[in-house]
């Protein structure tokens, strides 16, 4: 591939803190390398409808610290249809765009892989609070979401301890338990339920009762939204099993997706944004840039789109050990 002179950038899937920092990094590094940058509004839906316009260096000023995405996003299942993909290509070609940087989760990577399969150069940047994107240890937004969850759990612990209650706290994450598992460890939860490692209500009750008998003033149970045993069903069962604590449920919901990105997420966004553009400039394509250990790497978009990153069960063992 010849070096692209014009690249487009979009943000897809659920918004994640740090998406704006990544857009800024893509736009500014494209300009630094002498390319023109085009912003696509509302992800693949906007691509198919031609919602694109040039973005200059000044247009991305003041967005680094903002949550959400200034390019907006959309869930757009229709992009799986070949005729919709062809229409998106027509729109890109009509504006002289020669390559795409797609920022988002696994669905966004599948969209980029589909365009690549049609011969259009695409590079992906992982951004999703779920941390379920294959090919990177961390996606942009995960660290900020974890800090938000931690802040909420610290506050819930205050009221839990005052009332001698067990709090069941549901986190996001779709089918991946990463957010729940990490928050369980860093907040000192008695028990964590994730899709990758199921636990029964009896096991949870035993852990909560044990905490009560050891003189703890409260219990924290973190439940991933994708866990088989849902937070409300767990509450009903715990209340029947008499653990010593009364119980309450808090569903953290979309608050986990908002807020100003953490230092870690801003740095990751800068590194991956620059890496994506530099790789395109060198003629590389069809990869998602990601972080493995401390190094920026590339993984084929095909592979990223067809695999899922699960929670690391070593952390499950650690969480149980620290809950004593």
Any idea which residues carry the catalytic annotation?
A: 130
105 binds ligand F6P (CB under 6 A): yes
Span interacting with ligand F6P, options 2-10, 127-135, 231-239, 272-280, rule CB under 6 A? 127-135
Footprint on residues 132-171 left by ligand F6P (CB under 6 A): none
Cβ-count burial of 248 within 10 angstroms (0-12 exposed, 13-18 middle, 19+ buried)? middle
81 binds ligand F6P (CB under 6 A): no
172 binds ligand F6P (CB under 6 A): yes
Among 17, 104, 173, 286, binds ligand F6P (CB under 6 A): 173
Which CB, 243 or 262, lies closer to ligand F6P? 262
Nearest Cα to Cα of residue 153 among 124, 176, 182: 182
Q: Could you tell me the smallest distance in angstroms from the CB atom of residue 130 to ligand F6P?
A: 5
Among 75, 81, 308, 317, binds ligand F6P (CB under 6 A): 75
Q: Could you tell me the smallest distance in angstroms from the CB atom of residue 308 to ligand F6P?
A: 12
Which CB, 5 or 254, lies closer to ligand F6P? 254
What is the SS3 assignment for 84?
helix
CB 64, CB 25: distance < 8 Å: no
216 binds ligand F6P (CB under 6 A): no
Q: Could you tell me the smallest distance in angstroms from the CB atom of residue 34 to ligand F6P?
A: 35
Q: Could you tell me the smallest distance in angstroms from the CB atom of residue 8 to ligand F6P?
A: 23
Compute, in degrees rounded to 10, the torsion defined by CA atoms 204, 207, 210, 215: -100
Report which DSSP code applies to 214: T
Which CB, 98 or 106, lies closer to ligand F6P? 106
107 binds ligand F6P (CB under 6 A): no
130 binds ligand F6P (CB under 6 A): yes
Which CB, 257 or 285, lies closer to ligand F6P? 257
Cβ-count burial of 214 within 10 angstroms (0-12 exposed, 13-18 middle, 19+ buried)? exposed
CB 298, CB 284: distance < 8 Å: yes
Quote the radius of gyration of the chain (alpha carbons, Å).
22
DSSP labels for 18-64? THHHHHHHHHHHHHHTT-EEEEETTHHHHHHHT-EEE--TGGGTT-T
- What does residue 75 show for φ and ψ, rounded to 5 degrees? -85, 125
298 binds ligand F6P (CB under 6 A): no
Contacts with ligand F6P: how many residues (CB under 6 A)?
A: 12
195 binds ligand F6P (CB under 6 A): no
Which CB, 60 or 129, lies closer to ligand F6P? 129
CB 174, CB 139: distance < 8 Å: no
x-or-dash pattern for ligand F6P, window 250-269, by CB under 6 A? -------x------------
CB 171, CB 290: distance < 8 Å: no
- What does residue 298 show for φ and ψ, rounded to 5 degrees? -120, 135
Q: Give me the residues that bind ligand F6P (CB under 6 A), please.
A: 13-14, 75, 105, 128-130, 172-174, 225, 257
């Amino acid at each position: 591939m010849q070096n692209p002179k014009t690249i487009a950038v979009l943000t897809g899937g659920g918004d994640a803190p740090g998406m704006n920092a990544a857009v800024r990094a893509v736009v500014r590094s494209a300009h630094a390398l002498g390319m023109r940058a085009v912003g696509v509004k509302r992800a693949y839906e906007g691509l198919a409808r031609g919602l694109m316009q040039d973005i200059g260096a000044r247009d991305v000023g003041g967005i680094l610290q903002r949550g959400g995405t200034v390019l907006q996003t959309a869930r757009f299942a229709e992009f799986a249809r070949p005729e919709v993909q062809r229409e998106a290509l027509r729109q890109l070609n009509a504006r002289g765009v020669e390559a795409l940087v797609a920022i988002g989760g696994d669905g966004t990577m599948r969209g980029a892989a589909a365009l690549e399969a049609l011969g259009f150069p695409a590079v992906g940047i992982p951004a999703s609070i779920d941390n379920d994107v294959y090919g990177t240890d961390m996606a942009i937004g995960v660290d900020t979401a974890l800090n938000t969850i931690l802040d909420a759990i610290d506050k819930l612990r205050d009221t839990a301890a005052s009332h001698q209650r067990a709090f069941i706290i549901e986190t996001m994450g779709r089918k991946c338990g990463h957010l729940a598992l990490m928050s369980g460890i860093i907040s000192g939860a008695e028990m964590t339920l994730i899709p990758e490692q199921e636990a029964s209500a009896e096991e949870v009750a035993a852990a909560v009762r044990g905490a009560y008998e050891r003189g703890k003033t409260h219990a924290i149970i973190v439940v991933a939204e994708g866990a088989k045993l849902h937070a409300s069903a767990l509450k009903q069962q715990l209340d029947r099993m008499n653990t010593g604590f009364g119980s309450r449920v808090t569903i953290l919901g979309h608050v986990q997706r908002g807020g100003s990105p953490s230092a870690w997420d801003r740095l990751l966004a800068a590194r991956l944004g620059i890496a994506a553009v530099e790789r395109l400039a060198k003629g590389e394509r069809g990869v998602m840039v990601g972080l493995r250990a401390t190094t920026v790497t590339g993984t084929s978009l095909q592979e990223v789109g067809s695999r899922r990153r699960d929670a690391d069960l070593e952390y499950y063992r650690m969480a149980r050990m620290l809950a004593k």
